[in-house]
Amino acid sequence: MNIALITGSAGLIGSEAVSFFSPRFDLIIGIDNNLRQYFFGEGSSTEWNKNRLQEKFSNYRHYSPDIRDTSALEKIFTEYGADIKLILHTAAQPSHDWAAREPFTDFSVNANGTLNLLEMNRLHCPEAVFIFTSTNKVYGDTPNYLPLREGETRWEIDEAHPYYKHGIDELMSIDHTKHSLFGASKVAADILVQEYGRYFGMKTGIFRGGCLTGPNHSGAKLHGFLSYLMKCAITGDQYTVFGYKGKQVRDNIHSFDLVNMFWEFYKNPTSGEVYNAGGGRHSNCSMLEAISLCEEITGKKMNYIYTEDNRIGDHIWWISDVSKFKTHYPEWNWKYGLMDILVQIEEATVSRVAH
Ligand SMILES: NC(=O)c1ccc[n+]([C@@H]2O[C@H](COP(=O)([O-])OP(=O)(O)OC[C@H]3O[C@@H](n4cnc5c(N)ncnc54)[C@H](O)[C@@H]3O)[C@@H](O)[C@H]2O)c1
Protein backbone atom coordinates (compact mmCIF):
# COMPACT_ATOMS: atom_id res chain seq x y z
CA MET A 1 0.00 0.00 0.00
CA ASN A 2 1.23 3.52 -0.84
CA ILE A 3 0.44 6.16 1.75
CA ALA A 4 1.10 9.91 1.72
CA LEU A 5 1.12 11.43 5.20
CA ILE A 6 0.46 15.18 5.21
CA THR A 7 0.78 17.39 8.28
CA GLY A 8 -1.18 20.64 8.30
CA SER A 9 -3.58 18.91 5.92
CA ALA A 10 -6.43 21.38 6.50
CA GLY A 11 -4.20 24.39 5.79
CA LEU A 12 -3.54 26.03 2.43
CA ILE A 13 -0.69 23.84 1.20
CA GLY A 14 -1.71 20.68 3.05
CA SER A 15 -5.24 20.70 1.60
CA GLU A 16 -3.99 21.39 -1.93
CA ALA A 17 -1.66 18.41 -1.45
CA VAL A 18 -4.54 16.18 -0.30
CA SER A 19 -6.45 16.84 -3.52
CA PHE A 20 -3.33 16.49 -5.67
CA PHE A 21 -2.13 13.26 -4.06
CA SER A 22 -5.52 11.61 -3.48
CA PRO A 23 -5.63 10.01 -6.98
CA ARG A 24 -1.90 9.18 -6.84
CA PHE A 25 -1.76 7.27 -3.53
CA ASP A 26 -3.94 4.51 -2.01
CA LEU A 27 -4.44 6.38 1.22
CA ILE A 28 -3.88 9.94 2.44
CA ILE A 29 -3.30 10.40 6.17
CA GLY A 30 -3.91 13.98 7.26
CA ILE A 31 -2.70 15.43 10.55
CA ASP A 32 -4.11 18.79 11.64
CA ASN A 33 -5.45 20.00 14.99
CA ASN A 34 -6.68 23.41 13.76
CA LEU A 35 -4.02 25.23 15.76
CA ARG A 36 -4.38 27.97 13.15
CA GLN A 37 -7.55 29.07 14.93
CA TYR A 38 -5.61 29.40 18.19
CA PHE A 39 -2.95 31.48 16.42
CA PHE A 40 -5.17 33.85 14.46
CA GLY A 41 -8.72 33.61 15.80
CA GLU A 42 -12.10 32.28 14.74
CA GLY A 43 -12.02 33.71 11.19
CA SER A 44 -8.94 31.65 10.33
CA SER A 45 -10.20 28.26 11.49
CA THR A 46 -9.39 25.48 9.03
CA GLU A 47 -12.28 23.29 10.23
CA TRP A 48 -14.31 24.02 7.04
CA ASN A 49 -11.43 22.76 4.94
CA LYS A 50 -11.02 19.56 6.97
CA ASN A 51 -14.76 18.85 6.53
CA ARG A 52 -14.50 19.55 2.80
CA LEU A 53 -11.61 17.08 2.43
CA GLN A 54 -13.41 14.38 4.38
CA GLU A 55 -16.50 14.74 2.20
CA LYS A 56 -14.67 14.97 -1.10
CA PHE A 57 -11.88 12.37 -0.88
CA SER A 58 -12.88 8.84 0.09
CA ASN A 59 -9.24 7.78 0.63
CA TYR A 60 -8.58 10.65 3.07
CA ARG A 61 -8.26 9.80 6.78
CA HIS A 62 -7.96 12.63 9.29
CA TYR A 63 -6.12 12.60 12.64
CA SER A 64 -6.00 15.52 15.07
CA PRO A 65 -2.94 15.15 17.28
CA ASP A 66 -0.56 18.02 17.88
CA ILE A 67 2.73 17.42 16.06
CA ARG A 68 4.44 18.17 19.39
CA ASP A 69 2.80 15.06 20.88
CA THR A 70 5.41 12.39 20.17
CA SER A 71 3.44 9.47 21.62
CA ALA A 72 0.36 10.28 19.50
CA LEU A 73 2.58 10.43 16.39
CA GLU A 74 4.25 7.18 17.41
CA LYS A 75 0.84 5.43 17.34
CA ILE A 76 0.07 6.62 13.81
CA PHE A 77 3.52 5.76 12.44
CA THR A 78 3.49 2.35 14.15
CA GLU A 79 0.16 1.56 12.54
CA TYR A 80 1.11 2.50 8.95
CA GLY A 81 4.92 1.93 9.08
CA ALA A 82 6.76 1.39 5.81
CA ASP A 83 3.54 1.80 3.77
CA ILE A 84 4.16 5.50 4.24
CA LYS A 85 6.01 6.53 1.08
CA LEU A 86 5.74 10.31 1.38
CA ILE A 87 5.72 12.65 4.37
CA LEU A 88 4.78 16.20 3.47
CA HIS A 89 5.30 18.41 6.48
CA THR A 90 3.42 21.71 6.24
CA ALA A 91 2.03 22.13 9.79
CA ALA A 92 3.53 25.22 11.40
CA GLN A 93 3.12 28.43 13.28
CA PRO A 94 3.49 30.43 10.05
CA SER A 95 3.57 34.12 11.07
CA HIS A 96 6.66 36.16 11.93
CA ASP A 97 4.57 38.75 13.76
CA TRP A 98 2.83 36.14 15.93
CA ALA A 99 6.00 34.30 16.98
CA ALA A 100 7.14 36.99 19.43
CA ARG A 101 3.87 36.63 21.39
CA GLU A 102 4.65 33.05 22.41
CA PRO A 103 8.23 32.10 21.57
CA PHE A 104 7.91 28.68 23.26
CA THR A 105 4.83 27.81 21.23
CA ASP A 106 6.40 29.02 18.00
CA PHE A 107 9.67 27.16 18.52
CA SER A 108 8.16 23.93 19.81
CA VAL A 109 5.68 23.70 16.89
CA ASN A 110 8.15 24.70 14.16
CA ALA A 111 11.41 23.18 15.36
CA ASN A 112 10.53 20.37 17.81
CA GLY A 113 7.50 19.35 15.74
CA THR A 114 9.73 18.97 12.68
CA LEU A 115 12.28 16.94 14.65
CA ASN A 116 9.47 14.65 15.86
CA LEU A 117 8.40 13.94 12.28
CA LEU A 118 11.95 13.38 11.05
CA GLU A 119 12.48 10.85 13.82
CA MET A 120 9.20 9.09 12.96
CA ASN A 121 10.42 8.99 9.35
CA ARG A 122 13.81 7.53 10.36
CA LEU A 123 12.44 4.95 12.78
CA HIS A 124 9.28 3.75 10.99
CA CYS A 125 9.62 4.42 7.24
CA PRO A 126 13.23 5.39 6.42
CA GLU A 127 12.66 4.93 2.68
CA ALA A 128 9.88 7.53 2.61
CA VAL A 129 10.49 10.90 0.97
CA PHE A 130 10.30 13.81 3.44
CA ILE A 131 9.32 17.23 2.08
CA PHE A 132 9.47 20.31 4.26
CA THR A 133 7.85 23.68 3.61
CA SER A 134 10.49 26.14 4.76
CA THR A 135 10.36 29.88 4.10
CA ASN A 136 12.32 32.73 2.55
CA LYS A 137 12.39 34.24 6.08
CA VAL A 138 15.38 31.93 6.74
CA TYR A 139 17.39 34.58 4.83
CA GLY A 140 16.33 37.12 7.46
CA ASP A 141 16.47 40.76 6.41
CA THR A 142 19.58 40.30 4.24
CA PRO A 143 17.53 40.98 1.05
CA ASN A 144 16.77 44.48 2.42
CA TYR A 145 20.44 45.43 1.98
CA LEU A 146 20.43 44.76 -1.76
CA PRO A 147 20.74 47.82 -4.04
CA LEU A 148 17.04 48.67 -4.36
CA ARG A 149 15.55 51.52 -6.39
CA GLU A 150 12.20 53.17 -5.77
CA GLY A 151 9.77 53.14 -8.70
CA GLU A 152 6.29 54.62 -8.98
CA THR A 153 4.50 51.58 -7.54
CA ARG A 154 7.27 49.24 -6.40
CA TRP A 155 10.79 48.76 -5.17
CA GLU A 156 13.03 47.07 -7.73
CA ILE A 157 16.57 45.78 -7.65
CA ASP A 158 19.27 47.54 -9.66
CA GLU A 159 19.24 46.23 -13.22
CA ALA A 160 22.97 45.57 -13.09
CA HIS A 161 22.62 43.18 -10.14
CA PRO A 162 22.87 39.42 -10.81
CA TYR A 163 19.51 38.91 -9.00
CA TYR A 164 17.71 41.21 -11.44
CA LYS A 165 16.96 38.60 -14.10
CA HIS A 166 15.66 35.66 -12.05
CA GLY A 167 15.56 36.76 -8.40
CA ILE A 168 17.31 35.56 -5.24
CA ASP A 169 18.91 32.13 -5.27
CA GLU A 170 19.67 29.57 -2.54
CA LEU A 171 23.26 30.74 -2.07
CA MET A 172 22.24 33.84 -0.13
CA SER A 173 23.55 33.48 3.45
CA ILE A 174 21.07 32.57 6.19
CA ASP A 175 23.55 33.71 8.86
CA HIS A 176 24.27 37.14 10.45
CA THR A 177 20.84 38.60 9.81
CA LYS A 178 17.62 39.51 11.66
CA HIS A 179 15.16 36.66 11.09
CA SER A 180 12.31 37.34 13.57
CA LEU A 181 11.68 34.50 16.03
CA PHE A 182 9.59 32.76 13.39
CA GLY A 183 12.50 32.91 10.92
CA ALA A 184 14.79 31.48 13.61
CA SER A 185 12.50 28.54 14.43
CA LYS A 186 12.13 27.79 10.71
CA VAL A 187 15.93 27.96 10.27
CA ALA A 188 16.26 25.34 13.01
CA ALA A 189 13.75 23.10 11.22
CA ASP A 190 15.25 23.78 7.76
CA ILE A 191 18.75 22.77 8.96
CA LEU A 192 17.38 19.66 10.70
CA VAL A 193 15.69 18.51 7.50
CA GLN A 194 18.90 19.12 5.53
CA GLU A 195 20.84 17.20 8.17
CA TYR A 196 18.60 14.13 8.08
CA GLY A 197 19.37 14.05 4.35
CA ARG A 198 23.09 14.65 4.63
CA TYR A 199 23.86 12.75 7.85
CA PHE A 200 21.45 9.81 7.58
CA GLY A 201 21.18 9.77 3.78
CA MET A 202 17.39 10.08 3.94
CA LYS A 203 15.38 11.49 1.04
CA THR A 204 14.64 14.94 2.37
CA GLY A 205 13.82 18.09 0.39
CA ILE A 206 13.51 21.66 1.66
CA PHE A 207 11.33 24.18 -0.18
CA ARG A 208 11.83 27.79 0.92
CA GLY A 209 8.59 29.49 0.00
CA GLY A 210 7.97 33.07 -1.04
CA CYS A 211 4.29 33.99 -0.60
CA LEU A 212 2.28 30.79 -0.93
CA THR A 213 -1.28 31.45 -1.88
CA GLY A 214 -4.47 30.10 -3.37
CA PRO A 215 -8.24 29.87 -2.95
CA ASN A 216 -8.10 27.58 0.09
CA HIS A 217 -6.20 29.92 2.38
CA SER A 218 -8.01 30.85 5.60
CA GLY A 219 -6.56 34.37 5.35
CA ALA A 220 -5.88 36.26 8.57
CA LYS A 221 -4.47 39.70 9.37
CA LEU A 222 -1.15 38.18 10.43
CA HIS A 223 -0.88 35.52 7.73
CA GLY A 224 -2.08 34.90 4.18
CA PHE A 225 -1.36 38.22 2.45
CA LEU A 226 -3.36 38.04 -0.81
CA SER A 227 -6.17 36.05 0.73
CA TYR A 228 -6.64 38.50 3.60
CA LEU A 229 -6.29 41.49 1.27
CA MET A 230 -9.02 40.12 -1.01
CA LYS A 231 -11.23 39.36 2.01
CA CYS A 232 -10.97 43.04 3.01
CA ALA A 233 -11.63 44.14 -0.58
CA ILE A 234 -14.86 42.13 -0.59
CA THR A 235 -16.13 42.90 2.92
CA GLY A 236 -14.96 46.53 3.05
CA ASP A 237 -13.00 45.85 6.27
CA GLN A 238 -10.09 48.19 6.82
CA TYR A 239 -6.68 46.93 5.65
CA THR A 240 -3.41 48.34 7.03
CA VAL A 241 -0.33 48.72 4.86
CA PHE A 242 2.83 48.60 6.98
CA GLY A 243 5.74 50.78 5.86
CA TYR A 244 7.97 50.97 2.76
CA LYS A 245 5.37 53.28 1.13
CA GLY A 246 3.34 50.19 0.22
CA LYS A 247 5.86 49.45 -2.50
CA GLN A 248 7.29 46.26 -0.99
CA VAL A 249 7.38 43.43 -3.53
CA ARG A 250 6.48 39.79 -2.90
CA ASP A 251 6.33 36.91 -5.32
CA ASN A 252 3.26 34.72 -5.19
CA ILE A 253 2.97 31.07 -6.09
CA HIS A 254 -0.31 29.17 -6.40
CA SER A 255 -0.53 26.25 -3.96
CA PHE A 256 -1.10 23.90 -6.95
CA ASP A 257 2.20 24.90 -8.57
CA LEU A 258 4.06 24.35 -5.30
CA VAL A 259 2.52 20.92 -4.73
CA ASN A 260 3.39 20.06 -8.32
CA MET A 261 7.03 20.82 -7.40
CA PHE A 262 6.71 18.37 -4.49
CA TRP A 263 5.39 15.71 -6.87
CA GLU A 264 8.44 16.12 -9.14
CA PHE A 265 10.74 15.85 -6.13
CA TYR A 266 8.88 12.77 -4.85
CA LYS A 267 9.27 10.97 -8.18
CA ASN A 268 13.01 11.65 -8.29
CA PRO A 269 14.24 12.53 -4.78
CA THR A 270 17.68 13.55 -3.55
CA SER A 271 19.05 14.01 -0.02
CA GLY A 272 18.96 17.29 1.87
CA GLU A 273 18.51 19.52 -1.19
CA VAL A 274 17.27 23.09 -0.73
CA TYR A 275 15.10 24.95 -3.27
CA ASN A 276 13.67 28.45 -3.35
CA ALA A 277 10.03 28.12 -4.35
CA GLY A 278 7.93 31.10 -5.36
CA GLY A 279 6.24 32.97 -8.17
CA GLY A 280 9.57 34.45 -9.29
CA ARG A 281 9.55 36.94 -12.13
CA HIS A 282 6.48 35.10 -13.44
CA SER A 283 4.13 36.16 -10.60
CA ASN A 284 4.84 39.01 -8.19
CA CYS A 285 3.41 42.34 -7.09
CA SER A 286 3.90 45.23 -4.71
CA MET A 287 1.35 45.98 -2.02
CA LEU A 288 0.00 48.99 -4.00
CA GLU A 289 -0.21 46.90 -7.16
CA ALA A 290 -2.06 44.14 -5.29
CA ILE A 291 -4.54 46.68 -3.92
CA SER A 292 -5.33 48.06 -7.36
CA LEU A 293 -5.74 44.55 -8.78
CA CYS A 294 -8.16 43.67 -5.97
CA GLU A 295 -10.10 46.86 -6.72
CA GLU A 296 -10.19 46.00 -10.41
CA ILE A 297 -11.47 42.47 -9.74
CA THR A 298 -14.08 43.36 -7.11
CA GLY A 299 -15.10 46.66 -8.71
CA LYS A 300 -14.89 48.28 -5.24
CA LYS A 301 -12.55 50.88 -3.76
CA MET A 302 -10.49 49.36 -0.95
CA ASN A 303 -10.67 50.78 2.56
CA TYR A 304 -7.02 50.91 3.58
CA ILE A 305 -4.74 53.00 5.75
CA TYR A 306 -1.00 53.40 5.73
CA THR A 307 1.31 53.30 8.75
CA GLU A 308 5.02 54.13 8.64
CA ASP A 309 5.95 51.19 10.93
CA ASN A 310 7.11 48.33 8.81
CA ARG A 311 6.77 44.78 10.12
CA ILE A 312 9.97 43.49 11.69
CA GLY A 313 11.70 41.13 9.31
CA ASP A 314 9.48 42.13 6.36
CA HIS A 315 11.23 42.02 3.01
CA ILE A 316 11.26 45.18 0.87
CA TRP A 317 11.85 43.18 -2.28
CA TRP A 318 11.67 39.44 -2.64
CA ILE A 319 11.63 37.50 -5.90
CA SER A 320 12.52 33.79 -5.70
CA ASP A 321 14.93 32.40 -8.24
CA VAL A 322 13.58 28.93 -9.02
CA SER A 323 16.20 28.15 -11.71
CA LYS A 324 17.88 25.48 -9.58
CA PHE A 325 14.61 23.54 -9.28
CA LYS A 326 13.83 24.02 -12.97
CA THR A 327 17.26 22.68 -13.90
CA HIS A 328 16.87 19.60 -11.67
CA TYR A 329 13.22 19.04 -12.70
CA PRO A 330 12.77 20.42 -16.24
CA GLU A 331 9.23 18.99 -16.52
CA TRP A 332 7.96 21.54 -14.01
CA ASN A 333 6.64 25.00 -14.80
CA TRP A 334 4.11 27.39 -13.30
CA LYS A 335 0.54 26.85 -14.34
CA TYR A 336 -0.96 29.97 -12.69
CA GLY A 337 -0.04 33.65 -12.81
CA LEU A 338 -0.94 36.47 -10.42
CA MET A 339 -4.26 37.38 -12.06
CA ASP A 340 -5.45 33.71 -12.09
CA ILE A 341 -4.58 33.47 -8.41
CA LEU A 342 -6.44 36.64 -7.45
CA VAL A 343 -9.54 35.76 -9.45
CA GLN A 344 -9.66 32.29 -7.84
CA ILE A 345 -9.24 33.79 -4.37
CA GLU A 346 -12.02 36.28 -5.07
CA GLU A 347 -14.44 33.56 -6.20
CA ALA A 348 -13.66 31.29 -3.24
CA THR A 349 -13.89 34.16 -0.72
CA VAL A 350 -17.22 35.39 -2.07
CA SER A 351 -18.71 31.91 -1.74
CA ARG A 352 -17.27 31.44 1.80
CA VAL A 353 -18.41 34.88 2.99
CA ALA A 354 -21.88 34.13 1.59
CA HIS A 355 -22.21 30.93 3.67
N1 LIG B 1 1.59 30.85 3.28
C2 LIG B 1 2.75 31.40 3.04
O3 LIG B 1 2.81 32.50 2.51
C4 LIG B 1 4.02 30.69 3.41
C5 LIG B 1 5.22 31.22 2.96
C6 LIG B 1 6.41 30.53 3.22
C7 LIG B 1 6.36 29.35 3.92
N8 LIG B 1 5.19 28.86 4.37
C9 LIG B 1 5.19 27.61 5.11
O10 LIG B 1 4.39 26.67 4.42
C11 LIG B 1 3.72 25.83 5.36
C12 LIG B 1 2.25 25.80 5.08
O13 LIG B 1 1.73 27.11 5.15
P14 LIG B 1 0.19 27.38 4.97
O15 LIG B 1 0.06 28.74 4.41
O16 LIG B 1 -0.44 26.22 4.30
O17 LIG B 1 -0.24 27.43 6.50
P18 LIG B 1 -1.68 27.15 7.13
O19 LIG B 1 -1.69 27.85 8.45
O20 LIG B 1 -2.76 27.44 6.13
O21 LIG B 1 -1.67 25.57 7.38
C22 LIG B 1 -0.96 24.97 8.41
C23 LIG B 1 -1.89 23.99 9.12
O24 LIG B 1 -1.14 23.34 10.15
C25 LIG B 1 -1.97 23.17 11.28
N26 LIG B 1 -1.11 23.11 12.47
C27 LIG B 1 -0.36 24.13 12.96
N28 LIG B 1 0.30 23.72 14.05
C29 LIG B 1 -0.04 22.42 14.24
C30 LIG B 1 0.32 21.47 15.23
N31 LIG B 1 1.15 21.78 16.24
N32 LIG B 1 -0.17 20.21 15.13
C33 LIG B 1 -1.03 19.88 14.13
N34 LIG B 1 -1.42 20.76 13.17
C35 LIG B 1 -0.94 22.03 13.24
C36 LIG B 1 -2.88 24.41 11.28
O37 LIG B 1 -4.08 24.18 11.98
C38 LIG B 1 -3.09 24.65 9.79
O39 LIG B 1 -4.31 24.07 9.32
C40 LIG B 1 4.13 26.32 6.74
O41 LIG B 1 5.20 25.53 7.19
C42 LIG B 1 4.60 27.73 6.50
O43 LIG B 1 5.56 28.16 7.43
C44 LIG B 1 4.01 29.50 4.12
Ligand 1, residue 14: give the atom nearest the CA.
16
**Adjacent-strand bridge partners of 135:** 209
pLDDT 10s digits, 253-302: 999 999 999 999 999 999 999 999 999 999 999 999 999 999 999 999 99
Residue 82, amino acid: A
Residue 286, amino acid: S
Confirm or reject: Cβ of 45 under 6 Å from ligand 1. Answer: no
Ligand 1, residue 109: give the atom nearest the CA.
31
The residue with greater pLDDT, 196 or 220, is 196
Answer yes or no: is pLDDT of 134 > 70: yes
Beta-strand runs (E) in 123-277:
129-135, 148-150, 155-157, 203-209, 211-213, 239-242, 249-254, 273-277
Confirm or reject: Cβ of 92 under 6 Å from ligand 1. Answer: yes
Confirm or reject: Cβ of 205 under 6 Å from ligand 1. Answer: no
Centre of ligand 1 to C-alpha 272, Å, is 21
Answer yes or no: is pLDDT of 38 > 80: yes
- Whether residue 103 contacts residue 182, with contact meaning beta carbons closer than 8 Å, is answered with no
Dihedral of alpha carbons 156, 162, 165, 170, sign:
negative
Confirm or reject: Cβ of 146 under 6 Å from ligand 1. Answer: no
pTM over 0.95: yes
Confirm or reject: Cβ of 233 under 6 Å from ligand 1. Answer: no
Residue 329, amino acid: Y
Look at 55-59, 175-179, 193-197, 347-351 and tell me which has the smallest mean pLDDT: 347-351
* H-state helical runs in 236-337: 255-267, 287-298, 323-328
Confirm or reject: Cβ of 33 under 6 Å from ligand 1. Answer: yes
Q: Mutation test of ligand 1: which of 15, 19, 32 has the most ligand atoms closer than 8 Å to its C-beta?
A: 32
DSSP conformation class of 303: -
Nearest CA to ligand 1 atom 11: 90
Confirm or reject: Cβ of 259 under 6 Å from ligand 1. Answer: no
Confidence of residue 355 (pLDDT cuts 50, 70, 90): low
What per-residue confidence (pLDDT) applies to 255?
97
Indicate the average pLDDT of the chain: 96
Nearest CA to ligand 1 atom 26: 91
What per-residue confidence (pLDDT) applies to 313?
77
Mean pLDDT of 317-331: 98
Centre of ligand 1 to C-alpha 8, Å, is 6
